[in-house]
Structure 1
Amino acid sequence: MNIDTDSLVLTALIAMAALLYSAVGHGGASGYLAAMSLFGLAPAIMKPTALVLNIAVASIALYKFYRSKAFSWQLFWPIALLSVPCAYLGGTITLPGHWYKPLVGVVLVYAAGRSFYGAKKHAVYNVQAVAYPTLMFVGALLGLLSGLTGVGGGIFLSPLMLFFRWAQIRVISGIAAAFILVNSIAGLLGVLSKTSLDILPKALPLWMLAAVLGGFIGAEYGSKRLANPTLQKLLALVLLVAGVKMIVT
């Protein structure tokens, strides 16, 4: 990768991804992966790099949403209980993704359309109760997927929680931020159990700074200043981008 122009463009793309994704409580890993793939970075470098950036941005998003009381411990802990060890396990495994990525992409695109349509119809809905065993099963499955793909899992968790209406949209964003944070840490530890920190690119500090700045701005607006319909449309856009990326790759 050219150390000048290409690095600056990639840094700008990372900042933009962090801003958009953090506004809906996401860490932005799928955006970082897409940006890095445009510049031909090796998958072995992309996965841990995206997880490191994810940890930084998800931490900011969680702080902002939690302070705004957009969070639920009651929903988070059963989801995270099994997701963490499963994300670690997924981080240690490298599997071909040609069969499940298109399927997940279609699901995310559908969820994006449903979220956008719902934003035009109503921003508030009646929350549906969910049993702890269901949340634990979801956490285990999505944690494994998170570790395998190198993302924190928010792109999987958010549409699922929206579809079943387990919480209001801002609370979902706060839960997603926490889910992404713990899974990214576990997934990164899984990756590093098979390799070393030397695999991380030298430009990572610059990318980290860009991601933190973008993440701070996005989380600030997403956690406090955007109305629910706008937040739903942003979430729809995030899901659409992630879904299309999974389908085409």
Structure 2
Amino acid sequence: MFWLTGLFAIVALVYASVGFGGGSTYTALLGLWGVDYALIPIISLLCNIIVVTGGSARFVRAGLVKWPQVMPLLLVSAPLAFIGGLVPLKQWLFLMILGTALLLSAAALLVQPDKMAPRRISKRMLLVLSGGVGLLAGLSGIGGGIFMAPVLHLIRWSNARRIAAFASLYILINSVTGLAGQLIKAGPQSLAEPAGQYWPLLIAVFVGGQIGSMLGMKILTPRLLKTLTALLVGYAALRLLWQGWGLM
């Protein structure tokens, strides 16, 4: 638990510095540590909420959130994240979904949309994408910002700071509604074990997230951080997919 706690603090610091929650990496680490699969999304979503709440509030106070622009995407994703959290999944299916989500997360981390020609996408397609990501967020225990941010950069939806602000808010809303679905599905008592056995992880991400959101990451370059995180998440994804395949 000592090493896992330290890793969670580092992940929270790094992700909070760029407006993300770290849900994909938390789920990857929990999967590698052999945590009960039913607890993985609950712990990850709790950590997401803790990390991005402060950053989201700062972004809103700074006037970086254009509500008419972001509300349609949030109104589509939030209910589907809730529904995703409600869906009962067998262990093998959960591992396959989680492994696929993490593999896609690793790919998203390696994309450099600023070096690609801008793409055009209809508002309807963007809403469909937001809803799909919300559903995946609720099912797997990730916030979804790691998927939406590269797309928004690629279509030049707004400037980098506003996209970071949206990603933080998107992760927060999806994590809250996804967690609500998970708790209804598993029962309120499912919070007892994360609060009792895994509480050091929650404190670790709170501390790391506060430091990251205030200071930003100045030691490692964003590109190096993305590459290292993608390797970790990709490795965990392959492990989880292998486990899920073995249980089919």
* Equivalent residues in 2 for 1:1-249, closer than 5 Å: 7-95=1-89, 96=93, 104=101, 107-115=104-112, 118=114, 131-200=122-191, 201=193, 202-222=196-216, 230-231=221-222, 234=225, 238=229, 241-249=232-240
The alpha carbon displacement at 1:9 in A equals 1.8
Letter of the structure 2 residue corresponding to residue 13 of structure 1: L
Q: Normalising by structure 1, what TM-score?
A: 0.79
CA distance in structure 1 between the aligned counterparts of 2:8 and 2:225, rounded to whole angstroms: 17
Quick one: percent identity of the two aligned structures?
31
How many residue pairs match? The answer is 234
Give the SS at the match of 2:11. helix
Letter of the structure 2 residue corresponding to residue 87 of structure 1: A
The alpha carbon displacement at 1:31 in A equals 1.8
Counterpart in the other structure of 1:3: none
1:75 and 1:130, CA in 2 relative to 1: closer, same or farther beyond 3 A?
Answer: farther
Contact 1:56 1:208 in 2 (8 A): yes
Contact 1:90 1:148 in 2 (8 A): yes
1:53 and 1:159, CA in 2 relative to 1: closer, same or farther beyond 3 A?
Answer: same
Give the SS at the match of 2:39. helix
The alpha carbon displacement at 1:136 in A equals 2.1
CA RMSD of aligned residues (A): 3.1
CA distance in structure 1 between the aligned counterparts of 2:239 and 2:156, rounded to whole angstroms: 29
Unaligned segments of structure 2, at least 5 residues: 241-248
CA distance in structure 2 between the aligned counterparts of 1:230 and 1:172, rounded to whole angstroms: 19
CA distance in structure 2 between the aligned counterparts of 1:157 and 1:248, rounded to whole angstroms: 25
1:155 and 1:9, CA in 2 relative to 1: closer, same or farther beyond 3 A?
Answer: same
1:151 and 1:109, CA in 2 relative to 1: closer, same or farther beyond 3 A?
Answer: closer
Give the SS at the match of 1:86. helix
Contact 1:15 1:213 in 2 (8 A): yes
Contact 1:25 1:173 in 2 (8 A): yes
1:219 and 1:232, CA in 2 relative to 1: closer, same or farther beyond 3 A?
Answer: farther
1:247 and 1:94, CA in 2 relative to 1: closer, same or farther beyond 3 A?
Answer: farther
Q: Normalising by structure 2, what TM-score?
A: 0.79
Unaligned segments of structure 1, at least 5 residues: 1-6
CA distance in structure 2 between the aligned counterparts of 1:207 and 1:98, rounded to whole angstroms: 22
Counterpart in the other structure of 1:4: none
